[in-house]
Amino acid sequence: MTEPYPIVEQRPLDPAQTKGKFFWRKEYREHGELPRPNAHQVFVYRVDGEYVLDSAQRRLDEEQVVRATHVSLVDLTRDAEVIVELAIPSAEADDFTMRVTFVCTVTNAVSVVREGRGDAQTLLRAYLKSHHRIFELGLEYRLLQINDVRRDVNAQVKAFTTLKPPVISGIAVELRSVEVLTPDEYRQLMGSRRSLEYQHELNTTQQRLDHSLTAERQHHDQYLERDRSGHDHRQTTERLAHEQRLEWERVHHSGVVGIEQQRYELDRLADRKAFDRHQRGQDREEMTALAEIIRNNPDSALANAYVAGSLDATEMAERLLVENRYRGEVERTERQAEFDRRHEARLYEIEHRNEQRRWSREQSREERKWRREDHGLARAETRRKEEITLEVIRELGKHGYLDMTNLDPNLLITKLTGAPPREQLEGGGKAEPAAGDQASSAPRAEPEDTEDDDTGVREEDVS
């Protein structure tokens, strides 16, 4: 706290001044003679050996203010914190610093001034020093064991204030907290230790990251190598396929170009002869009809040319041979393409059908396997229930419970197993099932035709 508590200031007062003349003389005090109070502070005057409370409402010319010989300014703050620090010896050369926080409230300002309780911190320090056990709590601990000291000091101070609470006249005191401050040497040591731990953690993380980076780099190099090899292989395959395709296209193009060249030569020759015929004076309608015939049917055009005398028999035969050869090549190419398309469709259909068959066989195999497992579990459960039934009957027979006339073994078996009994027990005597009976009571597996079509394994062999 920046100012003392609860008495902020005490000041002796000189005799009051007098103003006026004769019968109008009057005593008063100046403002500078009294301290300036805050809103939560009050005056306590000492007047003729008595103490008078003033809440800063009295005028400076009132009788008690004029006659006062001493004034005290008292702080009335509620739950004002008062901090007391004490040094506690340790097992080493340094000390632990104990900080105890009290909250104080002035209940009677006149009593505080009368008793001279001007500094609550000094009074509470003396109060804590009166408990000598506090100064012995740290003798068994080193500075590194500050947490143990904190627990002991906290418990000791709280117990002391509970059994012997502090009493200050006119002030209500309550313990708020108990702390043991961290020594500077310990704080520096822990700071250095944390720095080393952080550095070690950084080094470990760096090594782990370096190792991970190296492993990832090696893995990446291996992946690149495999990818490079695969890429080279694919590139080689694609290059060979491309070269074969280019060679086939070149050969095909050469054939087509040859045919087209021959057709071009023939067409040029026909055009030249047609031009000659035009030059010889054939009419336009005949040339138009002839051109129409040529565009629609080359064979008819050749026949007309032969009839007209433009072509001789040898030239017409050559032209027909070239035209038929070209048509045959085109038809063979189209038939081959159609055959390839049908062949690919057939292959896809066969592969799809085989895949459907494989999936159906796998599904059937899984279903038969599940049925075998379900049958095995059902038989095991039945055997377990019958064994429990036989064991219960055997125990009842050993203890003589079956001799009781009012005990129905069949009803007892039904209640224990939750199923009707396999055979009726007669009389009240003991019924020990024979080995043959026990064997006959075992469930019989129903024959099933569970042979697997793919593996040839029957259900009886698997279970």
pLDDT tens digits for 286-339? 656 655 655 556 666 666 666 666 667 677 677 777 877 887 888 888 888 889
Confidence (pTM): 0.42
Provide the pLDDT for residue 27: 74
For residues 154 and 138, is the Cβ–Cβ distance under 8 A?
A: no
Share of the chain above pLDDT 90, in %: 17
Query: Which of 4-18, 125-139, 361-375, 398-412 is predicted with the least confidence, judged by mean pLDDT?
Result: 398-412
Q: What is the mean pLDDT of residues 399-405?
A: 63
Q: Which residue has the higher pLDDT, 27 or 266?
A: 266
The total of other beta-carbon atoms located within 10 Å of residue 2's CB is: 3
Q: Return the top range by mean pLDDT from 27-36, 171-180, 366-375.
A: 171-180
Confidence of residue 102 (pLDDT cuts 50, 70, 90): very high
Q: Residue 318 has what pLDDT?
A: 75
- Of the pLDDT bands very low, low, confident and very high (cuts 50, 70, 90), residue 455 is very low
What number is the average pLDDT over the span 366-376? 89
The first and second tokens of residue 93, run together, are: 């050369």
Q: What is the CA 415 to chain-centroid distance, rounded?
A: 52
50-67 average pLDDT score = 78
Residue 23 scores a pLDDT above 70: no
Q: Does 323 or 375 have the greater pLDDT score?
A: 375
As a whole number of angstroms, the distance between CA 188 and CA 101 comes to: 26
Whether 383 contacts 442, CB under 8 Å: yes
Please check the confidence at residue 427 and state whether its pLDDT lies above 60.
no
For residue 148 the two structure tokens come to 């143990």
Which three-class secondary structure string do you get for 428-450? CCCCCCCHHHHHHHCCCCCCCCC
Mean pLDDT in the chain? 78
What would the two tokens of residue 61 be?
A: 């010319």
Token duo for residue 363: 């599904």
Residue 395 and residue 367: Cα distance in Å, rounded? 42
Please check the confidence at residue 78 and state whether its pLDDT lies above 90. Answer: yes
181 residue type, one letter: L
| pLDDT reported for residue 166 | 93
The amino acid that residue 68 corresponds to is A
Max mean pLDDT range (57-66, 148-157, 269-278, 309-318): 148-157
Is the pLDDT at 86 greater than 50, yes or no?
A: yes
- The yes-or-no verdict on residue 233 having pLDDT over 80 is yes
Question: Across the strands, what pairs with 82?
Answer: 102
Q: What is the dihedral of CA 178, 182, 184, 189, to 10 degrees?
A: 170
For residue 149, what are the contacts with CB-CB under 8 A and spacing of at least 6? 88, 90, 96, 137, 138, 141, 180
